[in-house]
Amino acid sequence: ESTTVVVIGAGPAGLTVGNLLRRSGVDCVVLERQTRDHVAQRQRAGIVETRAVRMFDAWGLADRVLGGVPSEGILEFRVDGESHLVSDGDGSEGLGARICPQQVLVQKLTDTFLADGGDLRFEAADISLNDLTGERPTVRYRTADGGLRSISCAFVAGCDGDHGISRTAVPDGVLTAHAFDHDIGWLTVLADAPPPTYPLLAISEQGFAAHFPRGPYTSRYYLQCPPDDDPEAWSDERVWDALRTRLGDPVLGSGPITDREIFRLRSLVHDPMQYGRLFLVGDAAHIVSPMGGKGMNLALYDADVFARAVADFVRDGDESALRGYSERCLRRVWNDQEFSHWLTRTVHDAGDDSRCGPFERNLARARLDRLFTSPAAARSFAELMTGMD
């Protein structure tokens, strides 16, 4: 069997690569380890930034991929109970950011890909990548009924996340990993409870908290906690009490908690994002701490750059965009890492100062104050939020 691109992983990155390649008339096969149901239910990111919305629009996919998904251009900061609204209006015309839970995006991308005749194979086990530095790499895998398959291709798109196999196929010493750990934990809770009016970031002495919409009756909450804390130590009652206090909302609507987890805020960049004919796309190449909502959007950006580069090559044999892939993507990755790092430090340090001390707490408060009072600072923040160049 033979194709132009084998895409490993059917998360936001892999499905976007698949859809954009099909729109360009480039053959591809997408291989996913899990079942379709499993992938479609996975709840994670929730915002598609302005740049990414306009990217889908430019590919003629905005209606199919984002149709019916609500727009949002306002973020609320609540500092010791006092509300400040910040807009992502950057002066540009056109479609704006959408509140789109990852599973909704994944379902719509899957439907669109399959409706266009895309080749998407679930439950592909034991994938191995071979001859990545040769002319025709081969991807081998095992089907659900145990059959062995082999596909030869021109390129492999490694879209299988931070724990996938693509990156492990790169020999030691080729990639440099740049890692950063904020030493901050977040308890994340998903609940059947009314969403906030605007995505909400709350800063208080008790620690950071956030409330994001995840559907008409669903909310995602975050509570800063020690990174090694035990989720079992957070009873429903303790969660709602902490949220009411930190969000400064004594009558906050509650509801059944359907998921609860603790994770560390960390960032990771692998450089370069390419090895031979393997291109790393999305989380396989970089993790960005969730504050700022850039993880999924970076995956969508990489997918766009990769698909255009492959299309150039297939159309007129021009390899320059493929050669520039890693450098171009990493430039945006570091820009977004900086934004996320800045915002992470600001919202945590400005509240509970037990980690950073009072000096840094006051610096963080000054940064927030500037954001709320200086039009130039607000504009620069908006530019980073939209992701527009």
- Is 161 a residue that touches ligand APR (CB under 6 A)? yes
Q: Nearest-CA neighbor of 30 among 108, 115, 123, 104?
A: 123
- Is 159 a residue that touches ligand APR (CB under 6 A)? yes
Q: Which is nearer to ligand APR, 151 or 368 (CB)?
A: 151
Residues 6 or more apart in contact with residue 294 via CB below 8 angstroms: 49, 288, 336, 337, 339, 340, 387
Q: Which is nearer to ligand APR, 219 or 289 (CB)?
A: 289
- Is 30 a residue that touches ligand APR (CB under 6 A)? no
8 Å CB contact between 49 and 33: no
Q: Nearest-CA neighbor of 38 among 69, 10, 8?
A: 10
8 Å CB contact between 176 and 271: yes
Q: Nearest-CA neighbor of 278 among 161, 131, 172, 149?
A: 131
Binding residue for ligand APR, selected from 283, 304, 336, 349, defined by CB under 6 A: 283
Stretch that binds ligand APR, among 20-28, 30-38, 61-69, 345-353 (CB under 6 A): 30-38
Binding residue for ligand APR, selected from 118, 137, 158, 282, defined by CB under 6 A: 282
Binding residue for ligand APR, selected from 39, 53, 210, 305, defined by CB under 6 A: 39
Provide the angle, in degrees to the nearest 10, between the axes of the packed helices 325-349 and 295-316. Answer: 170
Helix (H) or strand (E) holding 20: helix 12-23
Stretch that binds ligand APR, among 154-162, 178-186, 192-200, 320-328 (CB under 6 A): 154-162
Stretch that binds ligand APR, among 38-46, 114-122, 232-240, 342-350 (CB under 6 A): 38-46
Q: Which is nearer to ligand APR, 12 or 351 (CB)?
A: 12
Q: Nearest-CA neighbor of 385 among 73, 25, 68, 22?
A: 73
Residues that bind ligand APR (CB under 6 A): 8-14, 31-34, 39, 44-45, 102, 124, 127, 159-161, 164-165, 282-283, 295-296, 299
